[in-house]
């Protein structure tokens, strides 16, 4: 197994110091990316033996170790993340409305602290682990560490599905979904996805109720500090990651995407890789969207090609592969995570629309006949491209 060299100081303080790419400069690593906890190796359809460099499918999530998840139960209803410096509410309690969540944060004195807040989508996503598994609406293993966190399922006795257990963030979508719904991003720790969810029930117009997990500490978490290195690369001083500035405009299946990243030479570096789900989500800019900024949901320091949609309409943005397998469906090893920097589109009643928001995280089959895609899947008709784009990453600290 190829191991990444990382500097990680487990977290008595809510930030990290390390050398930046510019000689002599010291910066705060306020945004360490917690590893996905994936240790299993996969082909496009099955579990496989541990891989070595040069093997087919090398470069996937399990080939690289990052900041491993580490938590402390404080014994007072709070959990400390020893990597991020964030402190979390252990038990979310009942579902509440978006407005009630902020009222709860304002009045809470859990653990004798009074500075609780509703987490941003990047704070909330720091808790996800892709050791989870789901099959349709049925939970098999949750996408959060249940040794530390209480994570209820949907109330099936009340007509809900097990996956109806989404946790909302404080991050409102700057656009609209389903043609006009005010939308808030959330993480579903039962099915392993980020989606935008309507703030109000489209039929009753009453506020929707969801789960909320309060957080405190490290107010810098999720805030990028990008530097254009002038050689086709962009460094993020907050995470310690270096990124490929521009995608190459070529759509690939998952195996091809892994090989592309492993073979990339850029900016005098040859240790590039395909980012895992949490690394790639870290560069989403949730203040931007095609509807509002006429751009992808990413800082304009990056360059992102556009594509034509399934109806030939130009000016849309592709999905980007990650190295992380998403265990879902009849064959739980056959799909991998992608991030939609453009609209999370789906086919509803014959109309292509933004159903989950720019910055959502879903998954696609790892392989398939190029001529058979795009296809549409699930109750929101999620677009499946299968041949997605690549933006490579490496660790700044490996120089």
pLDDT digits (tens, 9 = 90+) for 3-46: 444 433 333 333 333 333 333 333 578 999 999 999 999 999 99
SS3 letters for 81-141? ECCCCCEEECCCCCCECHHHHHHHHHHCCHHHCCCCECCCHHHHHCCCCCCCEEECCEEEE
Is it true that the peptide bond before 374 is cis, omega within 30 degrees of 0? yes
Contacts for 307 with CB less than 8 Å, ≥ 6 apart = 251, 314, 316, 317, 318
Q: What is the pLDDT of residue 84?
A: 98
Residue 41 resides in a domain: no
Task: Collect the ranges in the chain with pLDDT lower than 70.
Answer: 1-27, 397-399
In a domain, 158, yes or no: yes
* Rounded-to-10 torsion of CA 65, 395, 222, 32: 50
Answer whether residue 165 is part of any domain.
Answer: yes
Q: Which of 8, 15, 10, 12 is nearest to 30 (CA)?
A: 15
Tell me whether residue 199 is in a domain. Answer: no
So what's the pLDDT on residue 124?
98
- Residue 87 belongs to domain spanning: 71-193+205-215
Q: Please count the structural domains in the chain.
A: 1
Which tokens hold the place of 211?
């789960």
88 part of a folded domain = yes
Q: Give, in degrees to the nearest 5, the angle at Cα 363 between 357 and 369.
A: 120
Supply 259's token pair: 């090989």
Q: Is residue 124 domain-resident? A: yes
- Does a structural domain hold residue 60? no
Going by the DSSP 8-state scheme, the letter that residue 257 receives in this structure is H
Residue 169 confidence (pLDDT): 98
Does some domain include residue 63? no
């Amino acid at each position: 197994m190829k191991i990444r060299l990382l500097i990680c100081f487990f977290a008595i303080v809510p930030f990290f110091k390390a050398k930046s790419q510019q000689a002599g400069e010291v910066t705060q690593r306020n945004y360490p990316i917690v590893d996905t906890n994936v240790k299993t190796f996969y082909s496009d359809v099955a579990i496989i033996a541990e891989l070595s460099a040069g093997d087919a499918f090398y470069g996937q999530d399990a080939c690289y170790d990052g900041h491993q998840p580490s938590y402390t139960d404080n014994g007072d209803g709070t959990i400390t993340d020893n990597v991020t410096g964030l402190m979390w509410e252990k038990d979310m309690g009942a579902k509440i409305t978006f407005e009630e969540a902020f009222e709860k944060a304002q009045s809470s004195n859990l653990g004798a602290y009074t500075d609780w807040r509703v987490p941003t989508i990047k704070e909330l996503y720091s808790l996800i682990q892709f050791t989870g598994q789901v099959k349709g609406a049925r939970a098999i293993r949750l996408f959060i560490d249940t040794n530390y966190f209480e994570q209820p399922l949907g109330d099936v006795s009340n007509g809900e599905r097990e996956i109806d257990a989404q946790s909302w963030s404080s991050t409102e979508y700057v656009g609209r979904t389903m043609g006009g719904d005010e939308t808030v991003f959330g993480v579903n720790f039962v099915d392993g996805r980020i989606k935008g969810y309507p703030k109000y029930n489209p039929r009753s117009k009453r506020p929707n109720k969801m789960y909320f997990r309060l957080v405190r500490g490290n107010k810098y978490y999720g805030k990028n500090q990008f530097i254009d290195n002038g050689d086709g690369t962009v460094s993020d001083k907050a995470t310690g990651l270096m990124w490929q500035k521009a995608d190459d405009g070529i759509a690939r299946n998952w195996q091809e995407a892994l090989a592309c990243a492993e073979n990339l030479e850029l900016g005098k570096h040859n240790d590039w890789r395909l980012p895992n789900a949490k690394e790639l989500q870290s560069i989403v800019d949730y203040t931007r969207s095609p509807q509002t900024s006429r751009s992808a949901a990413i800082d304009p320091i990056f360059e992102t090609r556009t594509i034509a949609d399934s109806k030939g309409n130009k000016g849309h943005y592709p999905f980007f592969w990650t190295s992380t397998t998403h265990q879902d469906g009849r064959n739980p090893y056959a799909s991998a995570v992608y991030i939609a920097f453009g609209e999370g589109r789906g086919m509803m009643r014959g109309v292509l629309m933004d159903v989950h928001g720019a910055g959502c995280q879903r998954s696609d089959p790892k392989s398939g006949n190029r001529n058979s895609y795009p296809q549409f899947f699930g109750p929101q008709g999620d677009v499946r491209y299968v041949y997605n784009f690549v933006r490579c990453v490496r660790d700044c600290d490996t120089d």
